[in-house]
């Protein structure tokens, strides 16, 4: 049954070992920013909560394209960088 499987996956909650603020922009920081804009810690947490195997990305840049928020609405992101320099320090980087 799907519900039992998802309950098991949800229990296998992977927690980050450490966290720090981003210092300068990178593609990874850009994707952390996008997950955090949609209300998630990062890709790991998104996949656990939404029970998905893949995240839709722009093929040209590899940046996250679309995320489903916790309230089931969607966040759509541009192909180009969205995280401005003044926002970089607000992005949390999680280490596993």
Please write the tens of the pLDDT for every residue from 68-84.
999 999 999 999 999 99
Average pLDDT over the chain reads 90
Q: Which residue has the higher pLDDT, 63 or 4?
A: 63
A 10 A CB-CB count for 77 gives 22
Is the model's pLDDT at 86 over the cut of 50? yes
- The reported pLDDT for the residue numbered 2 is 42
pLDDT grade for 12, boundaries at 50, 70 and 90: low
Is the model's pLDDT at 22 over the cut of 70? yes
d(CA 1, CA 39): 28
Residue 36's closest CA among 78, 96, 91? 91
Give residue limits of the domains in the chain. Answer: 18-95
């Amino acid at each position: 049954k799907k519900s039992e499987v998802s309950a098991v996956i949800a229990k296998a909650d992977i927690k980050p070992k450490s966290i720090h603020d981003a210092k300068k922009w990178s593609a990874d920081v850009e994707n952390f920013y996008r997950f955090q804009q949609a209300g998630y810690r990062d890709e790991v947490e998104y996949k656990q909560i939404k029970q998905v195997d893949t995240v839709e990305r722009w093929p040209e840049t590899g940046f996250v394209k679309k995320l489903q928020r916790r309230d089931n609405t969607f966040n759509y992101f541009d192909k180009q960088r969205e995280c401005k320099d003044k926002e970089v320090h607000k992005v949390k980087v999680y280490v596993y």
